[in-house]
Amino acid sequence: MPLNYEIAERTLANGLRVIVSEDHSVPNVTVDLWVNVGSRHEVEGRTGFAHLFEHLMFQGSRNVASGEHFSVLMAAGGRLNATTWFDRTNYFETVPRGAMDLALWMEADRHGHLLDAVNQENLDNQRDVVKEEKRQRYDNMPYGNALIDVYAVIFPKGHPYHHATIGSMQDLDAASVQDVHEFFRLHYGPDNTVLALVGDLTPDEGFVAAEKYFGPLPATAAARRGPVEPLATLSAPVRDEHIEDVPADRLHIAFRLPVDDTPEFFASSLAMDIIGGLATSRLYRRLVRGEQSAVSVSANAMGFVDGISLGLMVIDVADGFDADAVEAAACEELVRFAEQGPTEIEMESALAQTERGWLSSLASQEERADHICHFATLQGDAGYINTFLDRLGEVSADQVQQAAARWLMPTSRAVVAYLKQDGDTR
Amino acid sequence: MTPQESVLERPEVSPPKPWSFPDAQRSELANGLAVVSYDIPGQYVISVRLAVPMLLEREPRDREGVATIMARTLDEGTARHTAEEFAELLERKGIALGAGVSDSGLIVDLDVPKRHLTEALDLLSQAVREPAFPENEVSRHVKTRLAEIDQERAVPGQRAAMEFIETYFDARERASRPTAGTKATISAITPQDLVVFHAANVVLSGATVVVAGDLGDLDIVSQVEHALGSWTGAAVDAVEPHAAVRSVDAARIAFVDRPGSVQTEFYVGCPGPDRRVEGGWAAYQVLGFVIGGSPNARVDAVLREDKGFTYGIRSGFRPRRCGGMFLTSGSVRADSTVEALGLLLDILDKAREGFTAEETQAGVDFIGKTAPGRYATADTVAEEAAGLSLEGLTTEFTTATLLALAEVDASALAAAYDRFVSGEWTVVVVGDAGLYAEGVRGLGRGEVTVIPA
């Protein structure tokens, strides 16, 4: 179906790209800022820094006290947070229309004048908080470090995606106030930021407000480097095995994929869905429903910008079955898919499920703002939300087969296996 | 040269524009099925929820979890289609169909792009009315649930929740055991158990269909009539809904030993109200926010922002069909276990002394002014309506509760907290008992029992 969400765009003199999407369905505005800096920009010895920095953005700035960003906006009816990922960092709040100016004023204060408030005490405190985030989400969880292992084995040392956004405890410990100053000066500034305003406002109201609060900020960010050289597929399988105290054997089968926002990425993404993402996928039919050698299978394509993307399949091996045999069966299916290509029904299913997922994700203002910023920041086109489904629909079955044959062959897989300590089947 | 910067005053916030929860259109089909629809323009994915009230006490004691396995296998083969055919019919039309059970009933949920709503309702009807429960699929879901139990035991937060209900509720209560069953009860489940349970319980009486989304040119009532107009059946509960009784020795500390844990998980609770509580539900929403709903709430202001012990700990009142609980949960750095637990219980106890006008107002404003955004999408509206219908409530309750926020002041908050919180906490700790159980015992906050993981 053709989508026609309103998109109006203007760039301020200082380089801030402002995108307004008018939608009066509820009396709210989502204020979303994407800064083109993520863990891919981190230097050796400072992994995890982009994310730690994001936490410091809530600890006050020139005219905002520590913690006020949460307390003041929440009391005004705001729901807010921030996230950091390989490619970017984003800051967002959804507020009643009458609090939009306050939100913009607070955002401009921290995006322009954070360093006035940074000190050793709030760095130490948020370093502790981030270390607890890492323990909670990774170190104290079964399989918690599996994704970190996947990135490390499939992308070479020194590559922007070799290390996870959460970083290492050692590097978090090493972060200094001086690092915060340097990071801010290098990466933050209106010329490296996209601002989306989505909701109960007109484009003119949005542009005027953006100019009022962000217009005075100078363009300060350093020029972005170009994308790193594309990586080829792995030339031979790589394996990383962990014998741990986990409840069941779990296989993470990873592939390098083409960069995001290309027909080849879309094709490989559809191939991942058909091989392992759908409830009617090849692997689900064979391993979960048929042999019942796996309890679950998932597959998805994560699009990145720096020369490569990631395809990841995760298989939970059923009790009493051999992980190696399950992996071999999965490899057979990969080869078969590359030889046969998708059926008509598989293409129809993958497109239909993607369509529903896409429309659901555009249903709320905040997620719509997120998509708008994402594609404006990383791919350039703020109107992507309206055209994505049509572009995906142009991908042919042949292209899906070709993408699988090029990117999803067993010979170019990286496997991170978490195996039970007392596994009786090995 | 320093760029010239105009000094802008912090902007004032102007009052929110009027907003109300989306209007419901209510009808009843000839067979008695309640149909509630919400037309929300611009919501292109339609959310359908079929809510069937059903107390978990209807499960046989030795087959607990049968309702959950039944919910998970409704679409795994029907009278007309195999499991695989059914999955294909769903996916080709971009339909997501799922089902789950809570202490108050079964909810079948369906999300579908608008143009495929008719086919989707037909498939929902087949899953609900004609499930075949094939042997192969049932045994697969039994094994999947057994594997899931192993996973739950390994994840500290879930392990804590499991231990909590066992410690908190009287052992005679269904609520003291997992909704989705234990290894012993799940292992015993056969296809015949599902057939019997389904026939007796997934029936028309008391059921509600909720449809939300961009319904502009659709005749929802006739579409639902077409799919479910000939559905029949009634069920009787052997027991009346009742507030599950707390165990007589619930006020104690259960320490689940998880050697080598780099964090310690806390799960702290005491009785709370259900939504029909005298004095109104609104104050309890505000309390959850003020005590543990944000990085600046009472708990995290100390444990996160001051001490740096945690990524975040959350509190909230959790209503059940009858009665409810006040729960606080989250994890802290292992070597802060003893100090953090002491501080946490002090914060929860000290709240009995009352709340400031400022924090009360911040909580009232957060709950009230975020409502338009929290109920902006088809799925959140449908979810709210379906959940309430299992308790015999409608979204008029949501509207009334939001209006009642205007009456919530600091004294109302204190009275609401005082009505349920007496300082008799059930505490579950999941962490390295060898290192920290003695220290926790030393806090003098209750008898400590160490339980193997």
Against a cut of 0.80, is the pTM above it? yes
3-state SS class at A407: helix
CB A419 within 8 A of CB A242: yes
Calculate the CA B149 to chain-centre distance. Answer: 19
The Cα–Cα gap between A195 and A212 comes to: 13
**How many angstroms separate the CA of residue A1 from the nearest CA in chain B?**
10
Percent of all residues in chain A with a pLDDT value above 90, rounded to a whole number: 97
B149 plus B258 within the same structural domain: no
For residue B16, is it within any domain? Answer: no
This complex has an ipTM of 0.95
**How many angstroms separate the CA of residue B208 from the nearest CA in chain A?**
23
Q: Which among B16, B40, B90 has CB closest to A27?
A: B16
B223 plus B368 within the same structural domain: no
**How many angstroms separate the CA of residue B194 from the nearest CA in chain A?**
19
pLDDT in tens, A305-364: 999 999 999 999 999 999 999 999 999 999 999 999 999 999 999 999 999 999 999 999
The verdict on B83 touching A (C-beta cutoff 8 Å) is yes
**Region of residue B446 (left: phi > 0; alpha: psi -120 to 50; beta: else):** left
Residues in chain B predicted with pLDDT less than 50, given as ranges, are 1-4
**What confidence score (pLDDT) does residue B109 get?**
98
Is the pLDDT reported for residue A422 higher than 90? no
The Cα–Cα gap between B251 and B257 comes to: 19
**What confidence score (pLDDT) does residue B236 get?**
77
Question: Which residues of chain A are within 8 Å of residue B295 when distances are taken between CB atoms?
Answer: 58, 67, 70
Return the H-helix or E-strand segment holding A152. helix A146-154
B40 plus B102 within the same structural domain: yes
For residue B38, is it within any domain? Answer: yes
The verdict on A241 touching B (C-beta cutoff 8 Å) is no
The Cα–Cα gap between B124 and A319 comes to: 32
B207 plus B88 within the same structural domain: yes
CB A275 within 8 A of CB A281: yes
Burial of A178 (0-12, 13-18, 19+ CB in 10 A): exposed
For residue B64, is it within any domain? Answer: yes
The verdict on A176 touching B (C-beta cutoff 8 Å) is no
Q: Which among A1, A102, A133 has CB closest to B10?
A: A102
Residue B111 lies in domain: 25-228
Pairing of strands A294-302, A414-420: unpaired
Mean pLDDT, residues A47-56: 97
CB A311 within 8 A of CB A407: yes
The verdict on B365 touching A (C-beta cutoff 8 Å) is yes
CB contact (8 A) between residue B377 and residue A363? yes
Beta strands in A53-141 (DSSP E): 79-84, 89-96
For residue B246, is it within any domain? Answer: no
Scan residues 1-40 of A and list those with Cβ closer than 8 Å to B: 1, 23, 25-28
Burial of A216 (0-12, 13-18, 19+ CB in 10 A): middle
Is the pLDDT reported for residue A424 higher than 60? no
B85 plus B207 within the same structural domain: yes
Token readout for B287 is 């309390």
B193 plus B272 within the same structural domain: no
CB contact (8 A) between residue A75 and residue B365? yes
**What confidence score (pLDDT) does residue B4 get?**
47
**What confidence score (pLDDT) does residue B240 get?**
84
**Region of residue B200 (left: phi > 0; alpha: psi -120 to 50; beta: else):** alpha
Q: Which among B42, B43, B93 has CB closest to A352?
A: B93
Pick from B147, B11, B276: which is nearest to A105 by CA?
B11
Q: Which among A126, A136, A200 has CB closest to B263?
A: A136
What's the domain count of chain B? 2
Pick from B271, B269, B343, B266: which is nearest to B303 by CA?
B343
Mean pLDDT, residues A76-80: 97
For residue B12, is it within any domain? Answer: no
User: For residue A205, what are the CA distances in angstroms to A21, A186, A382, B341, B441?
Assistant: 11, 31, 19, 49, 60
Q: In the sheet where A17-22 sits, what is the strand order?
A: A8-11, A17-22, A193-199, A28-35, A89-96, A79-84
CB contact (8 A) between residue B17 and residue A71? no
For residue B11, is it within any domain? Answer: no
For residue B391, is it within any domain? Answer: yes
Question: Which residues of chain A are within 8 Å of residue B369 when distances are taken between CB atoms?
Answer: 76-77, 96
B259 plus B328 within the same structural domain: yes
Domains, chain A: 8-214 (3.30.830.10), 238-420 (3.30.830.10)
Question: Which residues of chain B are within 8 Å of residue A213 when distances are taken between CB atoms?
Answer: 8
CB contact (8 A) between residue B262 and residue A141? no
**A421 falls in which pLDDT band (50, 70, 90)?**
confident
B291 plus B215 within the same structural domain: no
pLDDT in tens, A129-156: 999 999 999 999 999 999 999 999 999 9
CB contact (8 A) between residue B15 and residue A98? yes
CB contact (8 A) between residue A28 and residue B91? no
Scan residues 263-322 of A and list those with Cβ closer than 8 Å to B: 278-280, 285, 288-289, 292, 295-296, 316, 318-319
CB A8 within 8 A of CB A210: no
pLDDT in tens, A344-354: 999 999 999 99
Calculate the CA B77 to chain-centre distance. Answer: 28
Q: What is the CATH number of the domain that holds B296?
A: 3.30.830.10
The verdict on B309 touching A (C-beta cutoff 8 Å) is yes
B426 plus B346 within the same structural domain: yes
B197 plus B64 within the same structural domain: yes
* DSSP annotation of A230: P
B178 plus B294 within the same structural domain: no
Smallest CA–CA distance from B146 into chain A, residue? A319
Scan residues 407-426 of A and list those with Cβ closer than 8 Å to B: none
DSSP A280-317: T-HHIIIIIIIS--EEEEEEEEE--SSS-EEEEEEEEE
Mean pLDDT, residues A215-238: 95
**What confidence score (pLDDT) does residue A1 get?**
61
B119 plus B219 within the same structural domain: yes
Burial of B349 (0-12, 13-18, 19+ CB in 10 A): middle
For residue B49, is it within any domain? Answer: yes
Q: Which residue has the tokens 């139990």?
A: B149
CB A247 within 8 A of CB B147: yes
Mean pLDDT, residues A109-123: 97
CB contact (8 A) between residue B305 and residue A125? yes
